[in-house]
């Protein structure tokens, strides 16, 4: 290395991270480390200097000058012998590269080979008495044209850096890495060999920014978990500095290379600068509360200073650099595929199905989507991009024909194409479908509304005790309630305030619905009555319609239309409330707070880390193309432009952190009474199901208990001392930030759990992991299997149920099938949402499932006891999978086994790639 380059590397801002480098070594030779004549710059986060008083003393570490005026470090360790230490740096390159990128890579290999591309500093856990900082040695990374590590990982390369480490160096605790290249690279891990205890692992799995983008070096800690109070003295300041750099200063627009986590309100869904009809209210505050999202810092719109300007497709929305999809995910699935669906496939479908957007005219039109497919027109505007997408991204849909688009047959009709027509299947899906979380025990009559009667009319339901008893054929309501055999799907209070606005939209007609079910002695749930309500008017102060299944043809068709309206409501609540709000949006603040307040060496960070993967990126994509003004959700679901306001209303009325625990939700007794379980201390979960054959709950409780046992053992391992939870400053700051910043609009609620004991902590963490894994899997990966057949689960309705005095009633009598089909989404609406549902139901090839560890992340923690606990957790999940498979073959369980009934597999832990209808990923990754 030239002397000029040495000077540059040692004095440049990238290496001004430790105040002095005792016994620093270059090329294996001990020498004093030379630094700039100016005062040495300590580690500095991108924050105000007064935020880190701990680093002020570091600038006073120099105690001598050499004859040239350069600063000298203490040389006390230079008299000691040196130990040869080798650091192996593992870097991942792109799987597919352009020619220019390949040329750049060859240059990088050359630069790394001569030691001018990457610099690393090894920091000891021990303090140097002269500098009062961790002892440090440094070296350049070297290696000539490295070969792939293994033939199966051809994109993974390794380099070496060699050190001569003083014998009194102590244990290495951190590495500072500086990227001198002009672009970032992805660092998998660093393994240091040569210390007495064996190899020391520094798992990274992070993008290392270029020094030209940020002069600060990156801090990588070894795979040892430390509570804040247990942090070795040599790396204590680095722990705090790393957290400060992640938090940022809350100013400016975020840049692609940054890894800064901060909060913002949902003020980026509308685009009033583009069209006033695309203006959307800010979701924040008492009127429209909502969880917080990751801050991007974009400037406000010109039209509305309260709204943030948008980054429109195909340009990416900022997320912290390490939250972006990895290349496999980008190339084979979500980023590329979702954008292709929205930007290439859907326009092709629109062109092929005509601009008039016609309804389905007969059921064979729907069947053709799976059996025959349809030709996509060759539009010049679509040209190569659309064809490339169809050829590469979803080729499983394509027939031999070059442009023939064909959907896979959804699971709900694969075994029995007429199952969706039957009442028992309609009822079964409330327990074993894609949205099995809203059914409640019906405990009393009359069914009362909690809405203001001065605005919404009398609180009583039009479903009366007498009506129910007619359907029960002699069994009294009191007896049915006593035996816990009456249940309800109640969307009345949530939807009624929005009905008038929704029904004013073109081709949108909906009701506020209630559906009452009876659980018979044969173990089958069947619907008894459906109530469809419109807002009260002067002519109809109680504008409610009651439907039962009846015995004549007309009543049967009316009943089918009523069920379709209930399914449409269920689809909207599922997507906007249970799926988006309760999992995606609610998890985002936990992820932001975890990065901001818990060091990567904190044991709770290590526990939660697998459950945060990809979530911020998929949420950013959703804000850009799915839940935004004019996006696919507004276009395809009943609430239309009021979709996110409806989601906010649900957050205001129903969301409680403590009720996101599965047992608590089944028992729930606050503003709603689910009553689907009863307390039973003899059961592992502490509850006993009211309906034993409730597949979502029965399987979910197995997963819940496995997670709970794993978390409790992990937490007890690290928090064994009294008051260890309350004295953990990072942990307390983390929980405070989740409540007061992440869920700011709910910060004053009395139901927030305390965080004082290890039991409190275990309960909180179990809820988070369950939400990210089991809960999301149960309500996400069945979207296409159940919703891919439009009549089974229409996402919107375009007509109200015909009444005898309606002008179109006679047309209904003459052709009820046409009335039914023309009430469903149009062909374009249906095929668009089917394409998106398929995408959202697809597992990526790089998916990481609950209880599994990616081979490249196998050194995530250096703790044999923890690894043994994790092995037990994995074994429990394997046993659960066997139990679920056995249940799916038990003919006594009619909700999951029988002629034509698909097995309930949404909570089977493992899966392969694709639309499988099973598998629990660690995180909300789609």
Catalytic residue set? 579, 584, 776, 780, 926
Tracing tokens 């035996």 back to the chain, one arrives at 483
Report whether 33 contacts 45 (CB < 8 A): no
Kindly state the tokens that stand for 827: 């062909």
Region for 187 from its dihedrals, namely left if φ exceeds 0, alpha if ψ lies in -120 to 50, beta otherwise: beta
Other beta carbons less than 10 A from residue 801's beta carbon: 23
Sorted by sequence, the CB contacts under 8 Å of residue 14 that are 6+ apart come out as 119, 178, 180, 211, 215, 216, 217
Number of helices and strands in the chain (H, E) = 30, 24
* H or E element, residue 108: helix 99-113
Read off the DSSP letter of residue 582.
I
Read off the DSSP letter of residue 896.
T
* H or E element, residue 423: helix 423-432
With CA atoms as reference, report the closest residue to 190 among 149, 164, 220, 151.
220
d(CA 354, CA 351): 5
Tracing tokens 């409190």 back to the chain, one arrives at 760
Sorted by sequence, the CB contacts under 8 Å of residue 921 that are 6+ apart come out as 773, 776, 777, 843, 847, 848, 849, 850
d(CA 425, CA 531): 19
Report whether 879 contacts 887 (CB < 8 A): no
Sorted by sequence, the CB contacts under 8 Å of residue 799 that are 6+ apart come out as 509, 819, 822, 823
With CA atoms as reference, report the closest residue to 242 among 223, 224, 255, 261.
261
Kindly state the tokens that stand for 899: 């002629």
d(CA 254, CA 526): 53
Tracing tokens 């759990």 back to the chain, one arrives at 753
**Strand partners of residue 490:** 514
Kindly state the tokens that stand for 856: 């490249």
Based on its alpha-carbon atoms, the radius of gyration of the chain, rounded to whole angstroms, reads 30
3-state secondary structure of 43: coil
Q: What are phi and psi of 124, to 5 degrees?
A: -80, 155
Report whether 143 contacts 113 (CB < 8 A): yes
Across the beta sheet with 148-150, what order do the strands follow? 148-150, 153-166, 82-92, 185-193, 200-208
Report whether 201 contacts 222 (CB < 8 A): yes
Report whether 621 contacts 338 (CB < 8 A): yes
Tracing tokens 């963490």 back to the chain, one arrives at 765
Tracing tokens 């497919």 back to the chain, one arrives at 373
* H or E element, residue 818: helix 816-823
d(CA 447, CA 463): 7
Q: How far is CA 493 from CA 450, 498, 511, 512, in A?
A: 7, 10, 11, 7
- Is residue 248 exposed (0-12), middle (13-18) or buried (19+ Cβ within 10 Å)? buried
Taking CA 662 as the corner, what is the angle to CA 705 and CA 619, rounded to the nearest 5 degrees? 110
d(CA 227, CA 231): 6
3-state DSSP helix/strand/coil percent for the chain, to nearest 5?
A: 40, 15, 45
């Amino acid at each position: 290395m030239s002397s000029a380059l040495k000077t540059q590397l040692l004095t440049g801002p990238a290496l001004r991270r430790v105040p002095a480098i005792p016994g620093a070594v270059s090329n294996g030779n001990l020498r004093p480390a030379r630094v700039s004549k100016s005062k040495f710059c300590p580690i500095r986060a991108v924050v105000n200097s007064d935020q880190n008083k701990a680093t002020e003393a570091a600038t006073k570490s120099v105690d001598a000058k050499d004859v040239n005026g350069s600063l000298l470090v203490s040389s006390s360790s230079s008299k000691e012998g040196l130990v040869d230490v080798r650091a192996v740096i593992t870097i991942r390159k792109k799987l597919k590269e352009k020619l220019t990128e390949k040329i750049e890579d060859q240059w990088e290999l050359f630069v790394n080979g001569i030691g001018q591309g990457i610099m690393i500093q090894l920091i000891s856990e021990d303090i140097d008495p002269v500098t009062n900082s961790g002892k440090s040695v440094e070296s350049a990374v070297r290696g000539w044209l490295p070969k792939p590590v293994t033939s199966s990982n051809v994109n993974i390369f390794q380099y070496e850096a060699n050190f001569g480490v003083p014998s009194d160096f102590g244990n290495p605790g951190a590495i500072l890495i500086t990227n001198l290249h002009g672009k970032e690279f992805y660092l998998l891990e660093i393994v240091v060999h040569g210390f007495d205890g064996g190899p020391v692992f520094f798992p990274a799995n992070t993008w290392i920014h270029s020094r030209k983008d940020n002069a600060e070096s990156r801090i990588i800690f070894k795979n040892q978990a430390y509570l804040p109070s247990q942090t070795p003295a040599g790396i204590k300041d680095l722990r705090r500095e790393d957290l400060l750099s992640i938090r940022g200063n809350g100013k400016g627009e975020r840049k692609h290379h940054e890894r800064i986590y901060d909060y913002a309100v949902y003020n980026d869904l509308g685009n009033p600068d583009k069209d006033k009809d695309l203006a959307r209210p800010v979701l924040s505050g008492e009127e429209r509360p909502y969880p917080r999202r990751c801050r991007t810092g974009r400037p406000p719109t010109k039209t509305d200073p309260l709204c943030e300007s948008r980054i429109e497709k195909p340009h990416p929305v900022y997320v912290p650099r390490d939250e972006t999809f990895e290349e496999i995910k980008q190339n084979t699935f979500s980023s590329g595929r979702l954008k292709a669906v929205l930007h290439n496939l859907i326009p092709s479908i629109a062109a092929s199905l005509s601009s008039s957007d016609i309804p389905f005219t007969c059921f064979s039109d729907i069947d053709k989507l799976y059996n025959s497919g349809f030709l996509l027109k060759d539009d010049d505007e679509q040209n190569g991009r659309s064809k490339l997408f169809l050829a590469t991204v979803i080729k499983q849909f394509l027939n031999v024909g070059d442009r023939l688009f064909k959907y896979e047959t959804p699971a709900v009709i694969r075994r029995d194409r007429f199952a969706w027509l039957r009442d028992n299947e309609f009822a079964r899906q409330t327990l074993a479908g894609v949205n099995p979380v809203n059914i409640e025990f019906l405990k009393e009559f009359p069914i009362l509304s909690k809405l203001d009667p001065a605005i919404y009319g009398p609180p009583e339901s039009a479903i009366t005790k007498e009506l129910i008893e007619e359907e029960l054929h002699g069994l009294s309501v009191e007896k049915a309630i006593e035996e816990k055999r009456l249940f309800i799907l109640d969307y009345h209070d949530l939807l009624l305030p929005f009905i008038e606005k929704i029904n004013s939209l073109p081709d949108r007609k909906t009701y506020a619905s209630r559906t009452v079910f009876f659980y018979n002695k044969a173990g089958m749930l069947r619907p008894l009555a459906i109530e469809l309500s419109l807002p009260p008017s002067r002519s109809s102060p109680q504008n409610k319609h009651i439907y039962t299944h009846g015995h004549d043809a007309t009543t049967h068709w009316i009943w089918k239309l009523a069920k379709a309206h209930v399914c449409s409501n269920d689809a909207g609540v599922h997507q906007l409330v249970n799926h988006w709000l309760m999992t995606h949006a609610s998890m985002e603040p936990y992820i932001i707070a975890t990065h901001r307040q818990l060091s990567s060496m904190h044991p709770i960070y290590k526990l939660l880390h697998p459950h945060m993967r990809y979530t911020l990126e998929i949420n950013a994509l959703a804000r850009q193309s799915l839940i935004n003004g004019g996006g696919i959700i507004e276009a395809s679901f009943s609430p239309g432009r009021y979709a996110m306001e409806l989601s906010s209303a649900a957050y205001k009325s129903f969301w409680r952190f403590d009720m996101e625990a599965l047992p608590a939700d089944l028992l729930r007794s606050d503003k709603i009474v689910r009553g689907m379980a009863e307390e039973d201390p003899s059961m592992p979960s502490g509850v006993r199901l009211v309906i034993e054959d409730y597949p979502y709950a029965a399987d979910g409780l197995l997963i819940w208990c496995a997670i709970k046992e794993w978390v409790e053992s992990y937490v007890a391992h690290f928090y064994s001392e009294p008051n260890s939870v309350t004295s953990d400053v990072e942990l307390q700051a983390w929980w405070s930030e989740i409540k007061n910043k992440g869920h700011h609009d709910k910060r004053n609620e009395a139901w927030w759990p305390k965080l004082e004991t290890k039991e409190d902590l275990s309960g909180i963490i179990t809820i988070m992991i369950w939400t990210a894994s089991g809960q999301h899997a149960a309500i996400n990966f069945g979207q296409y299997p159940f919703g891919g057949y439009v009549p089974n689960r229409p996402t919107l309705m375009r007509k109200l149920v015909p009444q005898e005095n309606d002008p179109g009633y006679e047309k209904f009598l003459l052709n009820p099938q046409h009335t039914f089909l023309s009430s469903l989404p149009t062909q374009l609406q249906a095929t668009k949402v089917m394409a998106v549902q398929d995408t959202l139901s697809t597992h990526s090839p790089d998916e990481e499932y609950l209880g599994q560890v990616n081979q490249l992340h196998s050194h995530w923690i250096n703790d044999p006891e923890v690894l043994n606990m994790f092995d037990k957790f994995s074994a429990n999940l394997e046993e659960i999978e066997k139990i679920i498979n056995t249940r799916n073959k038990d003919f006594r369980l009619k909700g999951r086994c029988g002629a034509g009934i698909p097995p309930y597999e949404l909570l089977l832990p493992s899966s392969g790639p694709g639309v499988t209808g099973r598998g629990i990923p660690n995180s909300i990754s789609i």
